[in-house]
Amino acid sequence: MRNILVERLRQTPIEEQKLEIVERKGLGHPDYICDAVMEQISLRLSKEYMEKAGTILHHNVDKSLLVAGQSEVGFGGGYVKQPMLFVFGDRATTEFDGIKIDIEEIAINTAREWFRRNMRFVDPEKHVKYQVELKPGSAGLVDIFKRKGKVLGANDTSAAVGYAPMTRTEKIVLKTEQFLNSKEFKQRHPESGEDIKVMGCRNNNNLNLTISMAFVDRYVNSEKDYFEKKAKILEEINKFVRSNTNFENISIQLNTLDVQGRGISGIYLTVLGTSADSGDSGQVGRGNRVNGLISLNRPFCSEAAAGKNPVSHVGKIYNVLTFRVAQHVYEEVPELEEVYIWLLSEIGRPIDQPAIAAAQVVMKENSSIDKVRSKIAAVLEYELENIDKFCNELAQGKISIY
């Protein structure tokens, strides 16, 4: 029997609270880049291990630092003075039964491929240097992967929490960044860089979005040209937001540090479309939570999911699974306003047997927790029973975690 707890949470749903703050770091943000690249390295390692060993071997590549380079922006196009430095860190298996696995080559090639696919102006050969600091793991953690069974033991004692559903604020913050980084938007506005951050603040039924967008200097000819292009982009953002959500009042600001009359120093220009070309470094775990958002009104797990192995590292598995379970519970039980799912692991214990699995639910008015308790518990039981299939989806990259 699994240790499952279901309880009623007596609190005002987030949607009904007066204040809500939600952030989304976009595709070209240095923190996003670190999460995305290290997760791709984990996926590539998992594939390599399966091909050479028939199973996913020990690895946790969840430490990285993207050190900002130096650049000189200029109207009509500047240049990179010093490339960015990407440092890959933590642990990965380098040998299995005498077979060598070139993790350094895998890490660098995977990062280069990601930059080519996602960053239009970053030349991964010229604009980025790479430093691989991936070492073999400790004997105890490596041994977990040698043990037999349907699922492995947890490699850590860790807790995670996920929730459902998303609020209007969460949805529009996520949609807005995805819209601004869509291929269609970039075709219309090539001057818009990938480094975009959306900060949403809801006060009662009033929404304010503050957006930071790195402009690409080769598409900006003057200060006047910059502000004209910025005005057109802001107009399009306003149309998109107002047609995709329903607040009483909506206000949107773009690049609020800009000051007219200060020339190139008073506007947000980059050479490569990311602040990492000169102004801002990045790290794994400082970006979005696994549902793509940083929602300050919500509880959240402090573990960085990106890069952790998908078969024993509960900092990844439980982190993502709690959101899946919460959504499943919310869809199955219409009497609920909100769902919070908690999972606590115990190191060495099978990952399908958490120390505790808990559902805290906010009920709709005149609904009884007693009538739905067993139904909620059944969803938890089902998801944990099928955790091996879930881990396989993670290992194949079928679930986005940033």
Q: Over its length of 402 residues, how does the chain's per-residue pLDDT go in tens digits?
A: 799 999 999 999 999 999 999 999 999 999 999 999 999 999 999 999 999 999 999 999 999 999 999 999 999 999 999 999 999 999 999 998 899 999 999 999 999 999 999 999 999 999 999 999 999 877 666 776 776 678 999 999 999 999 999 999 999 999 999 999 999 999 999 999 999 999 999 999 999 999 999 999 999 999 999 999 999 999 999 999 999 999 999 999 999 999 999 999 999 999 999 999 998 999 999 999 999 999 999 999 989 999 999 999 999 999 999 999 999 999 999 999 999 999 999 999 999 999 999 999 999 999 999 999 999 999 999 999 999 999 999 999 999 999
- 197, β-bridge pairs: 25, 212
Instruction: Give the span between the Cα atoms of 258 and 315, in whole angstroms.
Output: 40
Q: What pLDDT is recorded for position 58?
A: 93
Count other Cβ atoms within 10 Å, centred on residue 235.
11
Identify whether the C-beta of residue 76 lies closer than 8 Å to the C-beta of residue 94.
Answer: no
Q: Which two tokens stand for residue 138?
A: 């400790």
Q: Running DSSP on this structure, what letter comes out for residue 137?
A: P
Half-sphere exposure of 289 (CA within 13 A, CB side): 23
- In angstroms, the Cα distances linking 166 to 108, 172, 288, 291, 323 are 36, 10, 15, 10, 11
Q: What pLDDT is recorded for position 148?
A: 64
Instruction: Give the span between the Cα atoms of 115 and 119, in whole angstroms.
Output: 5
Q: What pLDDT is recorded for position 184?
A: 98
Chain-centre distance for alpha carbon 146: 30
Domain boundaries, given as residue ranges, for the chain: 4-13+156-167+287-395, 30-144, 168-283
What are the helix (H) ranges across 183-267?
Answer: 183-188, 223-244
Q: Assess whether the region 4-13+156-167+287-395 and the region 30-144 belong to the same CATH fold.
A: yes
Identify whether the C-beta of residue 240 lies closer than 8 Å to the C-beta of residue 182.
Answer: no
CATH class of the region 168-283? alpha beta
Chain-centre distance for alpha carbon 283: 12
* Burial readout 160-180 (b: 16 or more C-beta within 10 A, e: otherwise): bbbbbbbbbbbbbbbbbbbbb
Q: Running DSSP on this structure, what letter comes out for residue 298?
A: S
Chain-centre distance for alpha carbon 107: 19
Query: Topology of domain 30-144, per CATH?
Result: GMP Synthetase; Chain A, domain 3 (3.30.300)
Instruction: Report whether CATH 3.30.300.280 matches the domain 4-13+156-167+287-395.
Output: yes
Count other Cβ atoms within 10 Å, centred on residue 365.
6
Identify whether the C-beta of residue 272 lies closer than 8 Å to the C-beta of residue 78.
Answer: no
